[in-house]
Amino acid sequence: MDGSHNSLAPRLPLITQSERQDTCPDHGEFTSAGFKIGSTMRWIGCPECSRLHQEAAKAAEAVKAAEHAQRVLEQRLDRSGIPLRYRSKTFQSFIADTDAKEVALAEAMEFASNFDAHLQAGTVIVMSGLPGTGKSHLAIAIAQTIMAQRTALYTSAIDAVRMIRDTWRRDSPRTETEVLDMLASVHLLVLDEVGVQYGTDAEQVSLFDIIDKRYRDMMPTILLTNQNKAGMKAFLGDRSFDRLREGGKWITFDWESHRGKVTAA
């Protein structure tokens, strides 16, 4: 670049600036800055409208990014984050007809609405109760809520272990470490049917590996179990159980199964 080129460039029209009072139909009076470019005067619109517009655009971007991350996760795991048949399980569709259920619902909603804080803290929630008490319902409602911004995966403990075990095959396209990393890096992992004895010791160890890795990486996890505290302690072992209790939350679903009620009627 040489100086002579600049001096030959056409002169830009002079820009002059001024101010005037303006009124936004939504946000009232504001001071508008005006720029005269050549002979055309341009006035800057309502700053609040502009802020809201930018915020909406940012939120739309975030939703798109979250959807993309979720799609990538699902492709890699070759499964849907929330099985289609569970998509109707939302906070709105959870029937809280007792105080205890209200408390469980409130806890679940708190977790979902403050998810970023729980993501920072690596909160672990245990939902304990009989089948049909709504544990999966609330856990899935949480997962579906946070999926607007974050990635989530709902799986039974057995299926999670199967994902790991499948990598033990010689022709597996993925390594055990890759799958473990995927299960550890999803923002919220919901593990259902934890505490059911099954499979080999090596398979049980895989489940502890998942829970442990998420704990160490401070990633929020929801464990659903039919076990009470003593049963969960026996299943996980003292060390893992103690870890759950640090910064963890235990929610007891100690009411009758709604499925049980239906069949008894």
Of the candidates 19, 48, 55, 78, which one interacts with Zn ion according to CB under 5 A? Answer: 48
3 vs 25, beta carbon nearer Zn ion: 25
Task: Compute the least distance from the CB of residue 41 to Zn ion, in Å.
Answer: 20
Q: Does 21 bind Zn ion (CB under 5 A)?
A: no
Distance CA 169, CA 204 (A): 18
Of the candidates 49, 96, 119, 158, which one interacts with Zn ion according to CB under 5 A? Answer: 49
Question: Strands 221-225, 188-194: parallel, antiparallel or unpaired by DSSP?
Answer: parallel
Task: Compute the least distance from the CB of residue 32 to Zn ion, in Å.
Answer: 11
The residue with tokens 């939703």 is 63
Residues 6+ away with beta carbon under 8 Å from 46: 22, 24, 26, 27, 30
Q: Does 26 bind Zn ion (CB under 5 A)?
A: yes
10 vs 25, beta carbon nearer Zn ion: 25
Residue 233, SS3 per DSSP: helix
* Residue 222 contacts residue 125 (beta carbons within 8 Å): yes
Return the range that interacts with Zn ion (CB under 5 A); candidates 27-35, 133-141, 175-183, 249-257: 27-35
Question: Strands 28-37, 221-225: parallel, antiparallel or unpaired by DSSP?
Answer: unpaired
Q: Does 96 bind Zn ion (CB under 5 A)?
A: no
Q: Does 119 bind Zn ion (CB under 5 A)?
A: no
Q: Max Cα separation, the chain?
A: 94
Return the range that interacts with Zn ion (CB under 5 A); candidates 41-49, 66-74, 171-179, 217-225: 41-49
